[in-house]
């Protein structure tokens, strides 16, 4: 099983990313700027958040050769490419429907889909020891199923919800105001918001359900 993850991490970068980009470009009729805005959200999220989680907070580690500390330098494209491809095939493109209901629908769809598929991915990655998650459930000797269920559905589900909402809002704004001068402002604000809101929401949810934010590493506790 570990062989699959070793191959997939490079397959995502070399094959899935260009395929995802192509289908987003088809969706937006050749508008590269809008594609970059959308694709930047999962890619930058999965560079910044996991980089902090692995090398700063020591929450998890990857069992692969190519790493910067504990972090894969290509991780953003592994997660971001798969997320982009899943989204472009899953999220309906309805530019004329811009109400609150349509925005929440987009969030619900992507929260459900990404929460499910990323939980499955992490479950088997933990089973194969391709990834080690140093959370409280790992410290207590729980099974891979219990470890992955303790964080993945909530973490990726919340990211998916806010990602879906962001995609819908960006599409609506861009089609109403297709001004290239807004590009960098939208890119910066949308990425900051999705990282802050997704991570903050997960920390709050985790604290309310298990009594801690989920940002504490138990690796050293077990070594002691």
- Report DSSP state, residue 180: G
97: which DSSP letter? Answer: -
Question: What average pLDDT does this structure show over 45-55?
Answer: 95
Is residue 214 within 8 A of residue 206, CB to CB? The reply is yes
Cβ atoms 218, 134 nearer than 8 A:
yes
Mean pLDDT for all residues in the chain: 92
Q: Could you report the per-residue pLDDT of 60-93, keeping only the tens digit for each?
A: 999 988 888 999 999 999 999 999 999 999 999 8
Which 8-state DSSP code applies to residue 211? S
In 3D space, the residue among 18, 84, 67, 73 whose CA is nearest the CA of residue 47 turns out to be: 73
Spatial separation of the C-alpha atoms in residues 116 and 99, rounded to whole Å: 26
Confidence of residue 213 (pLDDT cuts 50, 70, 90): very high
Per-residue pLDDT band at 222 (split at 50, 70, 90): low
Residue 223 has pLDDT above 80, yes or no: no
pTM for the predicted model, two decimal places = 0.93
pLDDT of residue 96 exceeding 90, the answer is no
What is residue 184's predicted lDDT score, i.e. its pLDDT?
Answer: 87
Is the model's pLDDT at 178 over the cut of 80?
Answer: no
Which region holds residue 142: left if phi is over 0, alpha if psi is between -120 and 50, else beta? beta
Residue with the two structure tokens 């504990």:
70
Other residues' Cβ atoms within 10 Å of the Cβ of residue 210 = 15
| Distance between CA atoms of residues 90 and 164, nearest Å | 10
Residue 47 confidence class, pLDDT cut points 50, 70, 90: very high
- State pLDDT tens for residues 143-171: 999 999 999 999 999 999 999 999 999 98
The strand ranges marked E within 102-190 are 131-133
CA distance 137 to 70: 20
Q: Is the pLDDT of residue 137 over 70?
A: yes
> Residue 196 pLDDT > 70, yes or no?
yes
State the pLDDT at residue 183: 86
pLDDT at 224: 56
Quickly tell me which residue has 């088997």 as its tokens: 124
Assess contact for 34 and 28: CB atoms under 8 A: yes
pLDDT for 17: 95
Q: pLDDT (tens digit, 9 = 90+) per residue, 4-19?
A: 888 888 888 889 999 9
DSSP per position, 36-56: HHHHHHHHHHHHHHHHIIIII
Q: Compute the residue count for the chain.
A: 224
């Amino acid at each position: 099983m570990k062989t699959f993850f070793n191959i997939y991490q490079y397959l995502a970068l070399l094959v899935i990313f260009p395929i995802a980009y192509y289908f987003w470009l088809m969706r937006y009729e050749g508008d590269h700027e809008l594609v970059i805005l959308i694709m930047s959200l999962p890619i930058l999220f999965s560079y910044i958040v996991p980089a902090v989680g692995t090398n700063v907070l020591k929450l998890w580690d990857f069992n692969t050769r190519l790493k910067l500390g504990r972090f894969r330098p290509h991780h953003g494209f592994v997660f971001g490419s798969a997320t982009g491809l899943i989204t472009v095939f899953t999220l309906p493109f309805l530019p004329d429907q811009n109400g609150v209901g349509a925005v929440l629908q987009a969030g619900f769809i992507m929260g459900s889909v990404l929460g499910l598929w990323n939980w499955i991915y992490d479950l088997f990655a933990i089973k194969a020891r391709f990834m080690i998650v140093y959370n409280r459930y790992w410290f207590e000797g729980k099974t891979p199923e219990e470890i992955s269920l303790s964080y993945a559905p909530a973490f990726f589900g919340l990211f998916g919800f806010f990602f879906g909402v962001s995609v819908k809002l960006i599409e609506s704004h861009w089609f109403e105001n297709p001004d290239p001068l807004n590009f960098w402002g939208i890119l910066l604000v949308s990425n900051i918001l999705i990282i802050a809101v997704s991570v903050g929401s997960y920390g709050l949810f985790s604290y309310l359900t298990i009594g801690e934010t989920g940002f504490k590493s138990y690796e050293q506790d077990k070594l002691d």
